[in-house]
Amino acid sequence: MINVGIVGGTGYTGVELLRLLAQHPQVSVKAITSRSEAGVKVCDMYPNLRGHYDTLAFSEPDAKALGAMDAVFFATPHGVAHALAGELLANGTRVIDLSADFRLRDADEWSRWYDQPHGAPELLEEAVYGLPEMHREKIKTARLIAVPGCYPTAVQLGYLPLLEAGLVDPSQLIADCKSGVTGAGRGAKVASLLAEASESMKAYGAGGHRHLPEIRQGLGDMQPNPVGLTFVPHLTPMIRGIHATLYSTLTAEPGDLQALFEQRYANEPFVDVMPAGSHPETRSVKGNNTCRIAVHRPSNGNTVVVLSVIDNLVKGASGQAIQNLNLMFGFDEHMGLNAPALMP
Ligand SMILES: NC(=O)C1=CN([C@@H]2O[C@H](COP(=O)(O)OP(=O)(O)OC[C@H]3O[C@@H](n4cnc5c(N)ncnc54)[C@H](OP(=O)(O)O)[C@@H]3O)[C@@H](O)[C@H]2O)C=CC1
Ligand SMILES: CC(=O)N[C@@H](CCC(=O)OP(=O)(O)O)C(=O)O
């Protein structure tokens, strides 16, 4: 049994960590922070957790208390983990950061996209990008994990088999992605209001979104050539879910694409390649850590279309964070992640 802490427990990813960890047989949540709700019991704020965390209460972030944990999750806005991660690591506490603080290897690039100086460039070298389907062995021995973003998870898993096999042109990739509104976090924003976000849909960040450099870096790690990616996210009227429609151009006769995807993911516990001709639905992964994928080659032409869906709060954040924890501590990779999706 290990003791863990969560910094940023009142946000959507924080409460999703609590929900999933309630079913984890090897984890006890001993500390959870919120500056605005300090003193409030977790189950008073989130009644779905009554009966699971009846005494746990939010407290102010305290490096000493967090440093007594075996692992700490950061479910906080960008920049917060920069300030605390070094001290925790020095205490022997492992850090799993759900924010973007350690995702980009280049501190200057991070500063440009996140409009602030990088607060811990000295830790970048040891940070491991927590996409198990790419970096499982490194994750097992890591002390500091950068959990991938929600869009980056769906996009990278969709392109991975094609790029690794060298079958498509990496300079001409197009990722057309849709997100539910919880992707924007729990903080009050006009764009997330019911009257703004429901019965309507819009693109945003078409000129450049923060996930672009992260996805480009990940796709670059899958093959040797420069990546040219057009990434356009959209806000859709659903609560959870990411749907990525991924286009690429074949450079060689690919053989059986369905078999390629099935073989690449045959041993991956959280990637489900659907039968040929399928169209995965976001609701089929709601509350669940699976990425469901389908591959199409319309009219047997030169374009491959991959459809990739995840729950932004699970495989796109908290579930993937727990998958990383399981690997780091030698637990079964499924622990805490066994419940099937809610459908409908
Ligand atoms: N929502 C999603 O689908 C995904 C989110 N992420 C990332 O995960 C992180 C958390 O996201 P989400 O749960 O949506 O965010 P929220 O905005 O919903 O929650 C943020 C949490 O962080 C706490 N917090 C804010 N500022 C600070 C601070 N300076 N120091 C300590 N705690 C702070 C808040 O509590 P309080 O202010 O009371 O302390 C709150 O509990 C973000 O970096 C986000 O980009 C990643 C993938 C997907
Ligand atoms: C719908 C929506 O607003 N989504 C957010 C996703 C951001 C997010 O989750 O940020 P990180 O993954 O980088 O931590 C956005 O586009 O900014």
Q: How far is the CA of 179 from the centre of ligand 2 (A)?
A: 9
Share of the chain above pLDDT 90, in %: 98
Distance, CA of 313 to CA of 185 (rounded, Å): 10
Closest to 286 in 3D by CA, of 19, 101, 7, 79:
19
Residue pLDDT, tens place only, 16-55: 999 999 999 999 999 999 999 999 999 999 999 999 999 9
- The secondary element (H helix, E strand) that includes residue 235 is strand 229-235
Say if ligand 2 is within 6 A of residue 180 CB: no
Backbone angles phi and psi of 282, in degrees to 5: -60, -35
Share of the chain above pLDDT 70, in %: 100
Amino acid found at 210:
R
pTM over 0.95: yes
Determine contact, residues 179/235, Cβ cutoff 8 Å: yes
144 pLDDT exceeds 90?
Answer: yes
Collapse the DSSP code of 305 into the 3-class scheme (helix H, G, I; strand E, B; otherwise coil) and give the result: strand
So what's the pLDDT on residue 207? 95
Distance, CA of 41 to CA of 121 (rounded, Å): 36
The pick from 155, 210, 236, 282 for probing ligand 2's pocket by mutation, whose C-beta has the most ligand atoms within 8 angstroms, reads: 210
Residue 324 binned pLDDT confidence (cut-offs 50, 70, 90):
very high
Residue pLDDT, tens place only, 220-239: 999 999 999 999 999 999 99
Q: Tell me what the mean pLDDT of segment 44-69 comes to.
A: 96
So what's the pLDDT on residue 267? 97
Say if ligand 2 is within 6 A of residue 184 CB: yes
The pick from 179, 181, 310, 318 for probing ligand 2's pocket by mutation, whose C-beta has the most ligand atoms within 8 angstroms, reads: 179
Q: How far is the CA of 21 from the centre of ligand 1 (A)?
A: 18
Determine contact, residues 95/143, Cβ cutoff 8 Å: yes
Distance, CA of 109 to CA of 130 (rounded, Å): 19
Arithmetic mean of pLDDT over the chain: 97
343 pLDDT exceeds 90?
Answer: no
Residue pLDDT, tens place only, 277-306: 999 999 999 999 999 999 999 999 999 999
So what's the pLDDT on residue 34? 97
Distance, CA of 323 to CA of 21 (rounded, Å): 11
Helices 12-21 + 319-328 axis angle, to 10: 50
Residue 344 binned pLDDT confidence (cut-offs 50, 70, 90):
confident
- The secondary element (H helix, E strand) that includes residue 80 is helix 80-90
- The secondary element (H helix, E strand) that includes residue 95 is strand 94-97
Residue ranges of domains in the chain, CATH in brackets:
2-126 (3.40.50.720), 151-311 (3.30.360.10)
- The position carrying tokens 């991975």 is 160
Distance, CA of 207 to CA of 204 (rounded, Å): 8
Residue pLDDT, tens place only, 169-227: 999 999 999 999 999 999 989 999 999 999 999 999 999 999 999 999 999 999 999 99
